Structure 1
Amino acid sequence: MPELPEAETICRQLSPLTVGRRIISVSLREPRILRCPIDAAKFRRGLKGRRISRLLRRGKAIIFVLEGARCLVVRLGMSGTLKVEPAELTTDKHVHLRLGLEGGDELRFRDPRKFGCLALRTGTEVEAFPEFSHYGPEPLSAAFTPSYLAQRLKGRRAKVGVVLMDQSVVAGLGKIYADEICFRAGVRPGRAAGRLTKKEIEKLVAATREVLEEAIGDRGTTAEDSVYQDAYGLSGGFRPAVYQRTDQPCIRCGQPIRRTRLTDGRGMHWCPECQK
């Protein structure tokens, strides 16, 4: 599933292609992807005629801020892609939303597995939207500090890897980058979060920034089980050190990478030598 770096990449790429352009037509093929109390007809009316003012990202979601205090919130899910393509270019049955833009292009949301979703929200205060009201800080923001993380981890028995994927603690992380952050910090993802030392928490925060900035610079990750493409149809260039590398040699010490299933059922990858 696309995580923060993938959403940030698409957001940055689409911004110059969409901002300032008016939505002149709306084609919604699959109304079931709507995640707000609005029917398909009202959804179309809420978009048509509005100009795209700017693009934002919150966690793993991409937000199109529209004139008239409206926001289109897009979650890519497992297989969703957003691209601007010529209107005359043929589409397939997996393109669930097409927004005709001034100039003849279309903004298209394609999602074969249909785990992605759309919502049209009133207002521009993103933090007030129901899908974000419980979110923790952005991991690249000034609010994500060692002292903040220490406070959130204090006394928690949950595993470190699970806590990093808890959107109420920090927004935007999933399996890929939780694995990579723990490896970079030298912390085993299966340890109890409340037992980390001050130094280990500092390393986790530093590793979070390093890994995410590198991944954004590489346009995200296209893993073996992923069909992620950026807004230009290209695969991500970030190469994980541990994620999905079970039994392969660690890039640092050569020990085989292990995979452990955590209490929430998700698997985490780690090196038994480099992570304690």
Structure 2
Amino acid sequence: MKTDYHIPVLLKESIEALNIKADGVYVDCTFGGGGHSRAILQQLNENGRLIAFDQDEAAKQNLPDDDRVIFVPQNFRHLQRFLRLHKITEVDGILADLGVSSHQFDEADRGFSIRFDAAMDMRMDQRQTITAADILKTFTEHQLHKMFEQYGEVTNAKTLAKTIVEQRAISRINTINEFKQAVQSAVKGNPQKYFAQVFQALRIQVNDEFGVLRELLQQTPAVLKSGGRLAVITFHSLEDRIVKNFFKYGTFSEPEADDVYGNKPETPFLIITKKPIIAAQDELKKNSRSRSAKLRVAQKK
């Protein structure tokens, strides 16, 4: 097992947040390097069970030899379907760490990182067909503008979109270096930060990350037992907002008062974390990627 595959973020905090029962059934939505999963297994007795989801083929190599684990090589948007397939109707806790694993960033040919030259890929699930290069080729100027603005909060998203459309008419944009060269004139401020935002937007689009997160959250009230916990670790404000609103309202935006008395629909959750939990100084020193992590926890009523 590769120990450097991925350092689990907010490990102690997220395990404590799940309030684990020794004989419970738990879901790790993003198995990755297996750090969170192993910590959950340590809290379970022989009757406890863990269902681990990961759509990335590479994650399989980290599976512990443990018959309490069911591994599902699929995107966690299919949570309920695969739990049913394994004859599980309800679980005691769900953990979702939404960060891209260090392994994905460090494998040059996956195209997630601006540090390397590789194909503009960015697929977390290599079985899917659309890559970042396809989006850069096929999206209209308006679609590119909206994507960079909404998913990357890129300050000059409109200029960037226009530049891409102009440049792709002249030369191909298939690799990271070709992309950087094509958009050089549009880069504002610190290039490192700028490209990080641009790549974030592309990655979210390629993997439909917000769609996936919404689908997962919508399934959780039906899947969790009463008193069961849902712990979600996000890495940017857009994701965090989706989780925060869902915990608070049971929907993704604040509902309008919906009856004559001004009552709002009731959320299925009790919020455990009034404010999100962030990494302590110790963890920040050891793992810079924990810098933007926020953990929110809710309990099903």
Q: Identify the TM-score tier after normalising by the shorter chain.
A: under 0.3
Higher helix share: 2
- TM-score, normalization: structure 2? 0.24
